[in-house]
Structure formats: structure tokens, C-alpha cells
Amino acid sequence: MVNDTVVIKVSNRTYYPGEYEVVEEGVLVCSFASDKYSAAMGWVTLAGLSASSLCLVLHLVPSPSCLTQDLHGRNIFLSLLGAYVSYILSVFAETSTTECYVFAVLIYYLFLTSFSWMNVLGFDVFYTFRRSRVRSGEQWKRFLVYSAYGWVLPACAVAAVVAVDQTRPPGFPPEFLPSLGQHLCWFGRRKALLAFFGAPLIASIVMNVALFVATTVSIAKTMQSEVRRTSPSEPKKEFLLYLRLAVLMGITWITSVVASYLELEVLWYVFILLNTLQGVFIFLAFTCRVKVWEAIAQPCQASSSVSCCRRQEN
């Protein structure tokens, strides 16, 4: 025992106050092995994340002509792809190692950026319907501000969490210490997970709901104008498309919160399937569209068609 911590040399794990109890026979330490994560769940997770990663790559790589038209969405997909690949690689890292710690921090950061970019996307859709005309210069300036919110703000939040985890300030509640990479390549304490991951998640969902409600009201108003009467379909389709993505991500993470409290195995399988297959759903909703394939085929003059994915849009 050193500095009120217990180090188990066999597993190379460090236990802090609140994670062990001194008894006459020695020291009792908490077991962090959870029965709710079975081997079957692990294989389902890896299979789903692998499929999602492949689908996200297929979405991001072959459509460079759409790069400037959907930057916000592509940043979301890029964040999710990075998080999925990092998680897959973290499976091969040993706990309580620098490698595992780096993966935990990276996965945490990438998921936070996906939440932030969903906020950006919701605000930008709202802003687009509020402003019928946007200058190109103003659009790129706005994108720089969006990038600061989507990439820099999560980095600052992660840096603060890492600082708390490394310094362990005196008086800081032990149950809220992140313990990144200690027992998994993720958060080591449930309360810390809820505080540093669950709270930003809930805030992001609430913000997106508010933005989409405001956008719906804005659509109802602008549809009455002469401009929207003539060509209302295209912006409305984009709004509905992004709304589906927000609902998908929201339901996925809400399911995880419910499953963690109810401790029902069936809910964990539902969450795992929704979470790990997000990339597949994104591919079906965003890539398998007639206009996307036409945009890809035009610059390449591709003669082949992707019949399995082509479908008429409503």
C-alpha cells in the first residue's frame, strides 16, 4: 500500500480509496468484472463495429464531389469511424497500460465530437431555414466557428477530465474519478461515466430536440412564402434526413442509460445492436440514395449501377 493506494502486481492494477477495504486477513479489493458483458456480447460488438466501420468508409471515400456540400455530416461520420476503429483496436490492449489509457481518451474524445457535430448540424439546418440566402464567404467563416465547437471544445473537455484523472485533486470525490484505462479501455467508474459522458450526451440530445423543434416551426413559416411554395422539397428532404440521424443516435444512447439502470440483458443487446450498427444505418440512409450515386458516377463516368441500393426517394 503506497499513498493510500493498493497495487496488485499480478494484474498491474491500482486501487484507490473507495475501491478497497482493509481487513484483518489483508485487503479486499473491488471486482470490476461485470457479468452483464458476456462473451457473446463481445463478439456481437466486434462484428457490428467492423460492419459499421466498413460502411462509413464506403460512405466517406467514394464521394469527394459532395465534400463541400455536407461537411457537418461528414465530420459526424468521421468521428464515429474513428471511435469505432479505436474501440476495435483497444480490444487488443492490456488494461492499466499507457496504450489502453490512450485508447480510452481517444474513444471518449471522438464520441464527444460526434455529439458536438450533431449540435452543429442541428443549428446549421435551423440557420439555413431562417436565412434564405447565405454568402459563400459567410458560410466558410461560420464553418470555422463550427469547427471550434465541434473539435476544439470537446478537446478542452477531455483535457480537463484527463487532468482530474492524473492529478486526483485532494477532496475530489473518489467515485467521480474517471480511472480511464484502469479496468477497461474506457471509464473505470460508473458515476464518473455518468458525469463526464452521460451529462454531455443528455445536454446534446436536449439541444438537438430544441433545435429541430425550432426548425420545424421555421419550416412551417417559410413554407408560406412564395419561394418555399415553388421549391420546398429539397431543403425539407435534408431536414428529414438529418432528423433521422439525430433520432437514431439519440435512441441509441438513451437505450444505454436505461439498460445500465434496469440491468436487463435484452436491453444491452438492443443497445449493442443499435450502437454498433449505426454506420450501417448511416450507409443505408445517406449513401444508398439515387442522387448520391449519380453525383459519384458523373465525375467518374461510371457505367455500372448499384441496383441493391438504388431506390426512389419520397
Most confident residue range from 68-72, 139-143, 271-275, 289-293:
271-275
Spatial separation of the C-alpha atoms in residues 212 and 1, rounded to whole Å: 53
Q: What is the pLDDT at residue 166?
A: 94
Most confident of 24-33, 96-105, 229-238: 96-105
| 11 pLDDT more than 80 | no
All structural domains of the chain with their residue ranges: 1-31, 73-278
| Helix-, strand-, coil-residue percentages of the chain, each rounded to 5 | 70, 5, 25
Q: Which residues of 75-113 are buried (b: 16+ CB within 10 A; e: fewer)?
A: bbbbbbbbbbbbbeebeebebbeeebbbbbbbbbbbbbb
Return the half-sphere exposure (C-beta side, CA atoms, 13 A cut-off) of residue 314.
Answer: 5
What is 73-278's CATH number? 1.20.1070.10
Supply the mean pLDDT for the chain. 77
Residue 137 has what pLDDT?
64
pLDDT band at 149 (very low <50, low <70, confident <90, very high): very high
Using pLDDT thresholds of 50, 70 and 90, give the confidence band for residue 176. Answer: very high
* Interval 260-289: pLDDT, tens: 667 677 887 888 888 888 888 888 877 666
Whole-number pLDDT of residue 235: 59
- The pLDDT score that the predictor gives to residue 256 is 75
Per-residue pLDDT at 8 exceeds 90: no
13-20 average pLDDT score: 64
Instruction: Please tell me whether residue 259 adopts helix, strand or coil conformation.
Output: helix
pLDDT single digits (tens) 226-272: 454 444 455 566 677 677 777 778 888 787 777 766 767 788 788 88
Closest CA to 161 of 151, 170, 171, 169: 169
* 8 A C-beta contact, residue 119 and residue 208: yes
